[in-house]
Structure 1
Amino acid sequence: MNKLSRLLLAPIKGSEEFAERFLFHHRLPVLLVFAALTLFLGWQAVQIRPDASFVKMIPTSHPYVENYLKNRDDLAGLGNSVRVAVAVREGDIFTAEFQQTLQKITDELFFIPGVDRAALTSIWTPNVRWTEVTEEGFVGGPVIPPDYDGSPESLEQIKLNILRSGQVGRLVANDFRSAIVQVPLFDKHPDTGEKLDYQVLSQQLETLIRDRYQSDNISIHITGFAKIVGDLIEGAAQVAVFFAIALLITLVLLYLYSRSITGTLVPLACSVIAVIWQLGLLKLLGYGLDPYSMLVPFLVFAIAVSHGVQIVNTIALESARGADRWLAARRAFRALYIPGLTALLSDGIGFVTLMVIEIRVIQDLAIAASLGIAVIILTNLFLLPVIMSLLGIGETATRRAREAEQKQHSGWQLLTWFATPSGARVAVVIALMMLLGGVYQGQKLQIGDLDSGAPELRPDSRYNLDNRFITQHYSTSSDIFVVMVSTDKDQCSSFSTLSLVDRFQYYLTNIAGVQSSVSLVDVSKRVTSGLNEGSLKWRTVSRNQLVINASLSYVPAGLMNPSCSLLPVIIFLDDHKAATLNNLTRQIASFAAEYGSDRIQFEMAAGNSGFEAATNEVIGTAQYQMLAWVYAVVGLLCLLTFRSLKTLVCIIAPLALTSILCQALMASFGIGVKVATLPVIALGVGIGVDYGIYIYSKLNTYLVQGMPLQEAYLNTLKTTGKSVAFTGLTLAIGVVLWVFSPIKFQADMGVLLTFMFLWNMLGALVLLPALACLLNCGAKATVTTPPEVKNVVK
């Protein structure tokens, strides 16, 4: 192991010597290059735009989604769509004024770029028809008659046509006080070929529809994936406000900590430069910022501040020991290069492990976070010491550091109790009790959404109020799950197919969470009954194929494909909660296994709830793979750096405890594991490992000099430990403000990140020395500390 470690660390050690000589002997050219790059990447960063795509949000390699993509052209309106409900506050929809408004809104929506115009449905579109059986045979036509003139007679005719169309509870509310326009969307702009801009689309829905037509007697309610994303992007714009507040808080606290203007402004400036570089590089690589990765710049800023504080603190200590500004910065660079690089590589590679989750939005987040870590190496590990070598830390900060080093800190001395056998046992016993509690509570953690509506938004948000309105006034909810029944060509209307689908729909009625379902079978049964004077005893699937063919002379769009080889069963659910979807998919899979065949196959799934079910399955499998990869990568790098299994346990155990407690916290707060929250666990591990590496690296520096563990830990607390405590508290204070965000998932992330910042800090300050004591790490120091690092301590 030692040979392998030395072999792998040799390039890092060589790069340290080269980087130190190059940076500190060519400071002006280095600064000019960094300034030029910052200007260029800053220009790129201001051009970055929100980027969201329906396909990016779903796991395209999952069998459910593959089945949908294979048949998407035949599933009009069952993929990405928006529903616009137009409601009257008083009266009903059968007035000339309302119908004129509904007609105008339908026309406005028809001409919005990105709308699948052929599949758009409303009672004002010709593809919504009524049928009736009379003594002379079938009669029918569009719901809005060609001779409609707004007269009371025409309005009465519309009411009759709606009742005969079967659209009550679907396109028309059960109480006749609102009507829906169903708006299917393409993934790309039809004119430019570029991805559909959901922010623009959401703004168009607001300005062209809600703002223009909502009045004292008309209310507009809009739901759908595109509207959720639009509202998220609108709310995420406030991330900049929270970022500015966090920056201001960090500025104040960092000055109170360092008492140095340069020691405050330079780390903050370098951290902001890291964010600018990250955004600029994302733009150059063709990426944008989707609502879920808009929080990554703050995390990059947080990690950069964490490393910047360590460097400034070390420079202050070196200045207090008599080094001039150039030598102090150089010694700080030399002392922190290997632990800092190890920590940042652990962060970056840990974030890359998010790529195992085959959902594009999470993979894009992984790329954004990894790019941010890469630039921190340049801006905070390289640039910051160079700037400080020119500006210095200041006399006030130097004097304060000298006084702090000589003064006995009662607070720090209390913490050293955990580095004694008795204190260590207490800490470990408490940690084990918390571990058991966390494991027990964590078993209640669920995959997927635990709330109805759009759980990414607040329950009282405009979107969720709109969704609640539609759910309360219509028989068909906005939570749709589609099962695709595939057959041979021209066999979707055969008796054997329809009878099996009829049996399947009856089977669905006994599944909890299912409101209703609709398919080609319902059309055939309704028309067959109509052909027989409306007798209910004929409302069934006829065994006579000629009767079936007659009943399917007109089929609404979306219930069969042109080749009659696909028959969608559209299932309306009470909600899209994880428990509902898990039970539904399990029951459908059981039915398909028992009754499906090579000739008739039941394939899941389309519809927003179908995609949600696929996403839940991917996340449920990938969350443990991701954690395994994160800890494997972080553990390997720590093992190669410190060459000690005991050290590995000391660094990794606090992180693992925090991860388990975080899952328990999510279960307690009703936060499910989903696209928005899954990356938090990996991000928390990446940030927390920095604390452990810096603490143990400094602790080991004293241990190899022969100091007892308790004394070595006291010296560590007075230097690196102080910086870790400050960073953890500062970042927690900055991120806790997210709980006030209008975006619920951002508020959830604020709670989780605050918890992880604090617990990772406490784990590094309390549990790490306790484990080092019990594992007797002070007796054998296996890390070879470079002589120059020893000189820094001396």
Structure 2
Amino acid sequence: MNYIRTDISAKQKNSLAQKLGEVVIEKTLFGQRAIIIGLFLLATIWFGFQAAQIKPDASFEKMIPTYHPYIVNYLEHKDDLKGLGNAVRVVVENPNGDIFEREFLDILKQVHEEVFYIPGVDRTAMSSIWSAGVRWTEVTEEGFAGGPVIPDTYDGSVATIEKLRINVLKSGQVGTLVANNFRSAIIYAPLLEFDPDTGEALSYQVFSDRLESLIREKYQSDSVVIHITGFAKVVGDLIEGVTQVALFFGLAVVFSLIMLVLYTRCLRSALIALGCSITAVVWQLGILNSMGLGLDPYSMLVPFLVFAIGVSHSVQIFNGIVHEVARGADSLTASRKAFRSLYIPGLTALISDGIGFATLRVIEIGVIQELALTASIGVGVIILTNLILLPILISYFGVSKRAITKLVNEEEGHSHPFWHFMATFTERKKAAVILMIGGGLFILGLFLSEDLKIGDLDPGAPELRADSRYNLDNRFITENYSTSTDILVVMVKTTADKCSDYQTLDTLDTLQWRLEGVSGVQSTNSLVNFTKMALSGMNEGSVKWNALNRNQQLLNAASIQAPPGSFNSDCSLAPLIVFLNDHKATTLTAVTNEIELFAQEHGSEHIQLLLAAGGAGIEAATNQVIGTAQYKMLAWVYGVVFVLCLLSFRSLRIVICILLPLCLTSLLCQALMAQIGIGVKVATLPVIALGVGIGVDYGIYIYSKMQSYLDQGLELGDAYYNTLKTTGKAVGFTGITLAIGVGTWAFSPIKFQADMGILLTFMFIWNMVGALTLLPALTAFLHRK
């Protein structure tokens, strides 16, 4: 008995210390209201000035996992792989004829020169039929003959154009730089990472705008059609879509205001709540700009999530204030009491959000790490703007009589049959049914999520709609050229001067033969192809000689005629280019697995087969990182939320009640992605973490309020009924409002924004449903009476 009294005394001391701390913080803040508002005003002006200067920011290397072995290999040999990394393709099409027309060739030359002089283009590696380095070769009675595809004597005459036609056929560029149907030609322009004019990182927005203004707008007409593809163009198109993102953000703000006014019946309170949430966004953007950071296409949606989280907490605080005013308190007292009762659960929820978002930094991809930082900063700011500034402002402006009358009528004038029905979920029989339904959904989610794929599932740029201009341009290249835009490069590394050694070439030849038998591989190309061709040419074009010869001198003589890029300056590296049908995860996995297996069988200290360069090689590395990181990320997110909830509630049972509904929502979200064809990739991976971060707020607020009624001696059913009339109502309103707000994203022309909108809408709704149904059902069995 003495032990029990000691235990109760310790709990009372902890509770007393907590309440004393709450009173001290409350007195400090509300005792200096004018000063605090003044500081907030000054900070908002400063951060607003900074936010106005923020710029879109994107980098090729931020999009890739630079620590992955594939990328390490690529970056180490980047200088030896000119033209096989970040590049754009500008296709000039003659829709009314073929390329062998004087007027068209003149325009092609002008476009070539325009692209050549755009800052950021690696001019040494640029190629088209107008490039001097693009040559034709043939075998004659006197030996090899060749020259540039565009003859030096070209003057636009019928004779020289006919000579050009013959040269194109001899060059081997049909299907590569010239379309199979001869109706278009490609200008291939590798990019530098830095703008040579400014010395700063290449701005893809500026580069994309230059392509549009200097190339497409200037030269496209009824007789010429321009198609442009490449990473820089994808990013440029995404940044161009910022206006649409801003439009959807504006729609969400207007819709939230309307819903807040309908919910609160108090225009000034709704404006204050909305203003504080928008202030958080302004601070977030201002802080990012002050840190020298911008918004990349994947973090442009984070400000709306910050706004959504701010609205969610604002509704809870407003609810608490109105209840205190309804009990007879003045605006200042009501605000102080509401702050005192809600700042602990609110702070717990926001810290859980912030640290949960920060755990995204375990994924070592630059854009995701910056997204994690952006989201964490936004959540940190909400602690100041919505937990502190909001109640202080309402303490001055108060709430309308209509809001109080509405609350009294709802709570005293109606029987609330729906809330009474929901409260019965705390009865064990009905709770068992709810938990059985939840268990069934869990099993269904496990079954359906087995089809979840890693990586892109669509051709072209999956961030954009299938009918977007970029994807139509990409489809044009795929349909009219033999060589795919999806390129994977294997780096065959040897000692100096050994890239043309028979053993090296034979290993390359064998690997090419095996890869061409892998599903999804279109064709391969390497130094071997040119060596065989040269050996055949040196022997009167005999097909019998179109094979590797063991005579090393012959191999050396043949290899030296290969075009630039077939090997590096000291002949220690020879790239093998693999053209793929697409960049789907299944294709990339099959190809990389075959190459890695071959490398284990045939690699040695003298010959190393290194993966991977090229767009598809980089994407294969990204897919591998995401495939393992998604589980690591979820473990960190749930681990952090678990620890913080445990510290706050000091009860494992309560933590289980809060977390299990979130786990079910995460699993069902993965099942939804699998069924509607959304893969786990850079754009979608953070969504689940963001959904968990926002969803945990619902559970924390509901359980905190229910616990306060339980502490007053109410039975579990009555405590939950009272919780539903206050916090539960606010949770339902917030979940539906935010779900409709992000649901409008489904109509965005930017596909990854539409995908995020669908997934976040689903998670907002299911987190709300889980908090209102599964949480009380779990409590019915786990609550200690």
- Shorter chain as denominator, the TM-score bin is over 0.9
Q: Which amino acid aligns with 1:765?
A: L
Tell me the alpha carbon deviations over residues 688-711 of structure 1, each in whole angstroms, 9 at most, x when there is no partner: 000000000000111112211110
Aligned twin of 1:482: 489
Deviation at residue 553 of structure 1 after TM alignment: 2.9
Equivalence for 1:782: none
**Which AA in structure 1 matches 2:338?**
A
Alignment of 1:26-425 (within 5 A): 26-407=32-413, 408-425=415-432
In the aligned structure 2, how far is the partner of 1:685 from the partner of 1:770? 20
Q: Do 2:739 and 2:764's aligned partners in 1 also have CA atoms closer than 8 Å? A: yes
Gap change, CA 1:14 and 1:98, over 3 Å in 2: farther
Could you report, residue by residue, the CA deviation over 1:343-378 in whole angstroms, capped at 9, with x for unpaired residues? 000000000100000000000000000000000000
Structure-1 separation of matches of 2:382 and 2:526: 56
Deviation of 1:9 after TM superposition, in Å, equals 11
Distance 1:14 1:83, change over 3 A: farther
Equivalent position of 2:648 in the other structure: 641
Asked if structure 2 preserves the Cα contact closer than 8 Å seen for 1:8 and 1:640, the reply is: no
Match of 1:772 among 752, 764, 779: 779
In the TM superposition, what whole-angstrom CA distance separates every residue of 1:534-553 from its partner, at most 9, and x where no partner exists? 11111111111121122123
Identity within the alignment, %: 59
How far apart are 1:406 and its partner, in Å? 1.5
Q: For the residues of structure 2 that align with 1:127 and 1:8, how far apart are their CA atoms?
A: 79
Note the C-alpha offset of 1:141: 1.2
Letter in 1 for 2:514: Y
Asked whether 1:705 is paired with 2:706, we answer no
**What are the superposed Cα offsets for residues 376-431 of structure 1, whole Å, 9 maximum, x if unpaired?**
00000010010000000111111222222223211111111211112101110000
Deviations 1:228-267 (A, max 9, x none): 1111111232111001101111101110000001221000
User: 1:577: how far off?
Assistant: 0.2
Residue 360 of structure 1 aligns with an amino acid whose one-letter code is G
Question: Where does residue 28 of structure 2 map in the other structure?
Answer: 22
| 1:541-568 Cα deviation digits (max 9, x unpaired) | 1111121122123322221100100000
Instruction: Name the counterpart of 1:565.
Output: 572
Where do 5+ consecutive residues of structure 1 fail to align? 780-794
CA distance in 1, matches of 2:402, 2:18: 35
Given the alignment, which residue of 651, 658, 662 partners 2:665? 658
Seen in structure 2, the aligned counterparts of structure 1 residues 14 and 233 have a Cα distance that, compared at 3 Å, is farther
Measured in 2, the distance between the counterparts of 1:520 and 1:9 equals 76
Task: Please give the alpha-carbon distance, in whole angstroms, between the structure 1 residues aligned to 2:16 and 2:761.
Answer: 37
Task: Call closer, same or farther: CA 1:15–1:302 in 2, change over 3 Å.
Answer: farther
Q: How far is the alpha carbon of 1:6 from its aligned partner?
A: 11
Q: Which residue of 1 aligns with 2:3?
A: none
Give the AA of the match of 1:680: V
Q: Report how far residue 17 of structure 1 moved.
A: 3.7
* TM-score, normalised with respect to structure 1: 0.96
In structure 1, what is the Cα distance between the partners aligned to 2:666 and 2:749?
26
Tell me the residue number matched to 1:783.
none
Ranges of 4+ aligned residues in structure 1 off by more than 4 Å: 1-15
Asked whether the equivalents of residues 431 and 780 of structure 2 are also in contact (C-alpha less than 8 Å), the reply is: yes
Instruction: Find the aligned partners of 2:505 and 2:224 in 1 and give their Cα distance.
Output: 42
Deviation at 1:4, TM superposition (A): 13
Alignment match of 1:429 (pick from 423, 426, 436):
436
- 3-state SS, counterpart of residue 458 of structure 1: coil
RMSD of aligned alpha carbons: 1.7
- Match 2:624 to one of 588, 601, 617: 617
Task: Please name the residue that 1:691 is paired with.
Answer: 698
2: CA distance, partners of 1:353 / 1:11: 31
Indicate how the Cα distance of structure 1 residues 498 and 43 shifts in structure 2: closer, same or farther if over 3 A, else same. Answer: same
CA deviation vs aligned residue, 1:74-96 (integer Å, no higher than 9, x gap):
00011100011111102110011
CA distance 1:708–1:200, shift in 2 (3 Å): same
Q: Among 736, 740, 746, which residue is 2:743 paired with?
A: 736
The answer to whether the aligner puts 1:606 opposite 2:613 as a matched pair is: yes
Contact 2:277–2:311 (8 Å) recurs in 1: yes
**Residues 449 and 578 of structure 1 are in contact (CA less than 8 Å); yes or no, is this contact kept in structure 2?**
yes
Distance 1:168 1:181 in 2: 13
In structure 2, give the amino acid aligned to 1:675: V
Contact 2:534–2:561 (Cα < 8 Å) also in 1: no
Q: Distance in 1 between matches of 2:101 and 2:24?
A: 81
Which of 566, 574, 582 is the aligned partner of 1:575? 582
Q: What do the CA deviations read for 1:14-71 (whole angstroms, capped 9, x no partner)?
A: 7644431122111111111100000000000010000000000000000000000000
Shift of 1:500: 1.0
The residue type paired with residue 315 of structure 1 is: I
Aligned amino acid, residue 668 of structure 2: L
Aligned partners of 1:5 and 1:641 also within 8 Å:
no
- 1:735: Cα distance to partner? 0.5
Compared CA separation, residues 721 and 136, structure 1 to 2 (3 A)? same
Q: CA–CA distance in 1 between the matches of 2:9 and 2:565?
A: 66
Match of residue 595 from structure 1: 602
Counterparts of residues 464-543 of structure 1 (less than 5 Å): 464-543=471-550
Query: Aligned residue for 1:677?
Result: 684
How far, CA to CA, are the matches of 1:655 and 1:722 in structure 2? 19
Stretch deviating more after TM superposition (4-13 or 410-419):
4-13
- Check the 8 A contact 1:9/1:641 in 2, yes or no: no
Structure 1 residues 195-204 or 291-300, which shifts more? Answer: 195-204
What amino acid sits opposite 2:260 in the alignment?
L
Q: Which whole-Å CA distance do the structure 1 matches of 2:635 and 2:22 have between them?
A: 30
Do the aligned partners of residues 62 and 385 (structure 1) sit closer, same or farther apart at CA in structure 2, a change above 3 Å counting? same
Does structure 2 retain, via aligned residues, the 8 Å contact 1:133–1:531? yes
1:550 aligns with 2:557: yes
Query: Which residue, 747, 753, 759 being the options, matches 2:760?
Result: 753
Following superposition, the deviation at residue 5 of structure 1 comes to: 11
